[in-house]
A = this chain, B = another copy of it.
C-alpha cells in the first residue's frame, strides 16, 4: 500500500505511526512524506522522502500536473506502476482524486469514480455505505446507475453483506419523486435488476429497493445509498454536524445541574460504548471506487489508529481484488460503459476512456 503522509491535521508523524501499526500487522507499506520529519516513527514501513505537499491546493487538477514531486503524485505513480496495490491519502480529497485520475486512471467501462463512505449507525451492526460523497458535483443518470453497482460490490467485499439492499436518495419514497436525473436512474436500475433478460445475474448481486428519504439513511433501511456528489457531501456533513450538535447539547445538559452531573457520570460508560459504535476511524475513511486500483481517503483529523485502519482496509481491498469484483458486477448487470462517450473537458483529468 502506498501512503501519502502529507496533509493530516496531526502531521506526517501521525500518519507514519499508523503506517507502522499496519506494517507490524504484516502489510507492506510505502510512506511518501517528509523523511526528516517522520524520523523513525514509520517503524517497519518504508519511507520515500517526498516533502512537497499539495493537500491544500485550490486547483488540484492543475497542481497535480505541475507538481510531479508532490507526495500524493509520487504515491499515485507508485500504485500506477504496480509497486503498490492500493493508495491511501491523508491529504486533501481534491488532490487525491486528481492525482488518482491522472495516474491510476479509471477502470475499464467506468464513467466516473465515486467516493463511498461507510457510515456507522447506532441502529445496526454494519455501516450504511453512502456514495457519492463529493467526487462528482453534477452527474448523469448512468453515473448513478454505476454508483449503485460499485457501492454494492464494495458493501459485499468490504462489509460482508451478501446481497446489499441499494436505494436512491430522494425527496420522497415513491418512484415518481425526485429530480429528472434520479427518476431516470430509478427506471434504469429497476429495469436492470427487474424481470427483463439479465434478471438472474443483476438481481442476484443486489436488491434495488427504490427511493429512500433522508430520514431513512440512519435507520439502515438500505445497505447502500446512492446520490450525486453535491447532495451526498451535504448529507454526510449534515449527519456529522447533527450528531455532534446533539451529543454536545446532551453533554451540556449533563453539566447543567449537580443532579444531572451525577447522572452524566453514571451514564458515561454506556455512552462510551455508543461513541465507540459510531467511531468514524474504525471504518478507515472514504473509499475511492472506479479506478484501476482502490484508493482510501481517511479524514484529515484522524489519529494513527484511523490511518492504520485505512491502510489495513486498502490492503484488504487490494487482496480481495475489489476492482475486478466491481467490474464483474457491472458486466453482469450490463451497466458498463460500452462505447466511448464524450466527456466535458477536464472532467476526467486525462483518464483513459476504457
Residue numbers of A with Cβ under 8 A of B are 58, 121-123, 134, 137-138, 169-172, 174, 177-180, 182, 213-219, 227, 229-231, 233-250, 252-254, 256-257, 259-260, 262-271, 273-274, 277
Complex CA distance for A248 and B268, rounded to whole angstroms: 16
Complex CA distance for A35 and B138, rounded to whole angstroms: 51
Decide if A217 touches B246 in the complex (CB within 8 Å): no
Closest residue on chain B to residue A215 by CB atoms: B241
Complex CA distance for A134 and B262, rounded to whole angstroms: 43
Decide if A241 touches B219 in the complex (CB within 8 Å): yes
Identical chains bound together, number: 2
Secondary structure of the A side of the interface?
Answer: helix
Query: Within 8 Å CB of A252, what residues of B?
Result: 122
Contact of A230 among B231, B247, B249 (CB under 8 A): B231
Complex CA distance for A170 and B138, rounded to whole angstroms: 12
Contact of A179 among B58, B138, B269 (CB under 8 A): B138
Q: Top 3 closest A-B pairs, CB basis?
A: A263-B266, A214-B237, A215-B241
Query: Within 8 Å CB of A123, what residues of B?
Result: 245, 249
Decide if A250 touches B250 in the complex (CB within 8 Å): yes
Contact of A270 among B134, B233, B254, B268 (CB under 8 A): B254
Query: Within 8 Å CB of A121, what residues of B?
Result: 245
Complex CA distance for A178 and B219, rounded to whole angstroms: 28
Contact of A265 among B227, B247, B263 (CB under 8 A): B263
Decide if B218 touches A58 in the complex (CB within 8 Å): no
